[in-house]
Amino acid sequence: MEPTSNDTVQQFVEAWGAMGALWGINRSVARVHALLMATEGHLSLEEISERLQMSKGNASMSLRELRTFGVVRQVEVPGDRRDFYVTEPDVWTMFFRIMKERKRREFDPALDAIHQLLEQPSAKGEVLGRLKQMSDLLATVESLANRFLKDPASSKAALSFMADLPFSPKRPKK
């Protein structure tokens, strides 16, 4: 089978790179990820750095980030000193792993800060009401996140199911 055209790969790399901001990962990291996704086999650090026109240093750091997310892993080739990289093949799994890591890094600390604040007894009146509401909201988001991020396979099914329900689950009131 002939390979995917370089041009398409190129475009995909840039599109995914731009989209990275949405998921909260930076452009270089997203571009490396895209290149690996668009590649059948494995790639070496040097090859990645060349194809994406970025320094080896940057490529190395980006790969480390991707391994931390758990969406890229290293493969050994016997008799070759270089490290090679492949992407996790399941897109949903990738998606959940990235979300999980982001939640840990960003959401959880922010949630702590707000909670701590809510324990102080100084808020009054309407302001207190808003803080309570916000605490509820954050608790709900947190609970949903924990539930869905726990198990990608069944979450995927649940989400797809919800997305495909016929419109709409509720008539407007009255």
Q: Which of 149, 150, 152, 174 binds its own copies (CB under 8 A)?
A: 150
Asked if 26 interacts with DNA (CB under 7 A), we say yes
Binding mask 73-92 for its own copies (x = CB under 8 A): ----------------xxxx
Give me the sheet containing 84-87, strands edge to edge: 43-44, 84-87, 72-75
Phi, psi of 63, rounded to the nearest 5 degrees: -65, -35
Q: How far apart are CA 120 and CA 126, in angstroms?
A: 16
Q: How far apart are CA 18 and CA 12, in angstroms?
A: 10
Min CB(74)–DNA separation in Å: 8
Termini Cα distance of the chain = 59
Asked if 18 interacts with its own copies (CB under 8 A), we say yes
Q: Which of 19, 68, 82, 112 binds DNA (CB under 7 A)?
A: 82
List of residues 6+ apart from 62 with CB closer than 8 A: 28, 29, 31, 32, 33, 54
Nearer to its own copies, 81 or 174 (CB): 174
Nearer to its own copies, 80 or 164 (CB): 164
Q: What is the DSSP letter of 124?
A: -
Whether the Cβ atoms of residue 71 and residue 98 lie closer than 8 Å to each other = yes
Where on the chain is the footprint of its own copies (CB under 8 A)?
1-5, 7-9, 11-12, 15-16, 18-19, 21-22, 37-40, 89-92, 95, 106-107, 110, 113-114, 117, 120, 122-128, 130-131, 133-134, 136-137, 139-140, 143-144, 147, 150-151, 153-154, 158-160, 162-165, 167-170, 172-173
List of residues contacting DNA (CB under 7 A): 26-29, 44-46, 53-58, 60-61, 63-64, 81-83
